[in-house]
Amino acid sequence: MSASFENLLYDLDAASGILTITINRPTKLNALNAATIADIDAAVQQALAEPQVRGIILTGSGEKAFVAGADIAELAALTPDRAGRASLAGQEAFARIEASPKPVVAAVNGFALGGGCELAMACHMRVASENARFGQPEVNLGLPPGYGGTQRLPQLIGKGKAIELLLTADMVKADEALRLGLVNHVVPQAELLPFCTQLLTKILGKAPLAVGLVLDCVNAHYAKGADGYETEAQAFERAFESEDFKEGTTAFVEKRPAVFTGK
């Protein structure tokens, strides 16, 4: 199953429920312009509305770049007020990815710079190919990051190191990104999508409601005004009312695999 977008490929494997969203501007190294961000947002919202979609892989076309950054020509033409609106639009689109109750894995193939690094960080997990490079080089353009980079990078790797990378604009290779905790796994490029598929398949064997509740609880830790412990207690109570909880505990007692329905 597939849907049509100007700058994306949208491919759903009906058997597994895994949707692959591929940013498809290879001649621009998949750079983010306003139209591409709008496509990403629309694709994610469509995926969240489709019961057939159970998990999402987000990647870039080609072997050189996940997303090499923003479209600089478009960026340079913005007025200050339009730039502010563009920043908010990108933040809102990426926040929807982060808040997704369906797991989202970034398959980072090559450069993930600027907006590309920010997009990857908005995903729940990141798997990098060995040739991946990460960085927030916006200060080289006289700018701070605009799509959440100053917020998510410290969450993932710690304040001190994040500030260093944000202020120096240094790129980090995949192995360093793994050591810092910016990515979950590093694999050869040929194994990137199969590995992500395997990872999601394992997760999708768990109770869908519980998976979504875990993501809600983790996000609550970082949400302004939210109490993560209270969110967890509410999620725990909600799960107790579910058919999946009854199935999970029954299957455990009966020593058989659970068959979850997401109810």
Query: Which amino acids are annotated catalytic?
Result: 118, 138
Rounded distance between C-alpha atoms, residue 101 and residue 165, angstroms: 30
Distance of CA 45 to the CA centre of its chain: 14
Torsion angles phi and psi, residue 211, rounded to 5: -60, -50
Closest Cα partner for 103 from 20, 6, 211? 211
Closest Cα partner for 205 from 197, 194, 216? 197
Q: Are 145 and 94 in contact (CB under 8 A)?
A: no
The phi-psi region of residue 260 (left if phi > 0; otherwise alpha if psi is between -120 and 50; otherwise beta) is beta
Closest Cα partner for 231 from 212, 256, 249, 254? 212
What are the residues facing 60 on neighbouring strands?
Answer: 23
Buried b / exposed e over 157-170, threshold 16 CB at 10 Å, is beeebbeebbeeee
**Three-class DSSP category at 132:** coil
Closest Cα partner for 170 from 148, 126, 138, 127? 138
Query: Would you mind telling me the total number of residues written for the chain in this entry?
Result: 263
